[in-house]
Amino acid sequence: MIEWFSNLNYIIQALIAGIFTWSITAIGASLVFIFKKINKSVMDAMLGFAAGVMIAASFWSLLSPSIEMSKSLNMNAWLVAFIGFILGGVLLFIGDKIFDKLEKKRKNSQQKGKLKRCLMLIISITLHNIPEGLAVGVAFGSLAYGLEGATESAAIMLAFGIGLQNFPEGSAVSLPLRREGLSRKKSFFYGQLSAIVEPISSVIGALIVLKARFLLPYLLAFAAGAMIYVVVEELIPESQSNKKKDLMAFFTLIGFSIMMIMDVALG
């Protein structure tokens, strides 16, 4: 199975990885068929673990290869890394601001229908899933250049980390919609729909990397910036809202350690 995957075209690998991250969202959304509420400690532990994986991946799988490739292309390494990294965060920052305005309008509006609430929830999650899908695509597309740190195992672990944090995102959409009175089927549909952009953006990320090599250092740093923003703005604050915040922090260390080992020892 692993050998079969390794022999695939990088774009196909990116597509499969994107489908994987979407499928984990769908699995999370499917919990609406089983539970009315999910244990918070379990969800927070998963978020903390995913945060650790994504922090480690941001450096070893994205930023470090970005710097190395910038040097090989005779580009200003620190400037390329800075521009890409900041732009990744800025994209998600803008997305958050757009959602905040939409949410404010919803709260101030007298019309608070089910469809409108669905759209608000889906938009907020989708805004974050686009750069996450791009990050997966860039990671697999960069394998074509044999960069130090850009390995298949690192790309797979990156997709795994993103998929893991997608699990609670799926339930974070479907369960509230169910509480608002939507049927289980509709709640599941909207929950998984929020991540359908990930396979698409994964392929786009891989295509851009393969067709325009000079953009790769920027895109690697861009993906790192987007992921760090998600970690700092969403994953860590949510996991640390748990009463056992010290234990949640330990899960973050475990996630970081596993990704570090995959990149350094096995990469």
Total domains present in the chain: 1
pLDDT of residue 267: 53
| Angle of helix 152-179 versus helix 10-30 axis, rounded to 10 | 30
Q: Is residue 27 part of a domain?
A: yes
pLDDT of residue 159: 87
Range of the domain at 231: 8-31+39-264
Cα–Cα distance for residue pair 125/26, rounded to 1 Å: 13
Q: What is the pLDDT along the chain (267 residues), one digit of tens a residue?
A: 677 888 888 889 999 999 999 999 999 889 888 876 667 787 788 778 878 877 887 888 778 888 988 887 888 999 999 999 999 888 878 877 776 676 666 555 544 555 555 565 566 667 667 777 888 888 888 888 776 666 788 788 888 888 887 887 787 678 767 766 778 888 898 888 878 889 999 999 888 888 877 887 888 888 888 888 888 887 788 888 888 889 999 999 998 988 788 667 655
pLDDT of residue 165: 75
Q: Is residue 227 part of a domain?
A: yes
Q: What is the pTM of this model?
A: 0.69
| Phi/psi-derived region of residue 45, left when phi > 0, alpha when psi is between -120 and 50, beta in every other case | alpha
Q: Is residue 3 part of a domain?
A: no
Q: Is residue 186 part of a domain?
A: yes
Q: Is residue 212 part of a domain?
A: yes
DSSP letter for each residue of 56-79: HHIIIIIIHHHHHHHHHTT--HHH
pLDDT of residue 110: 46
Q: Is residue 1 part of a domain?
A: no
pLDDT of residue 17: 92
Q: Is residue 224 part of a domain?
A: yes
pLDDT of residue 143: 84
Q: Is residue 183 part of a domain?
A: yes
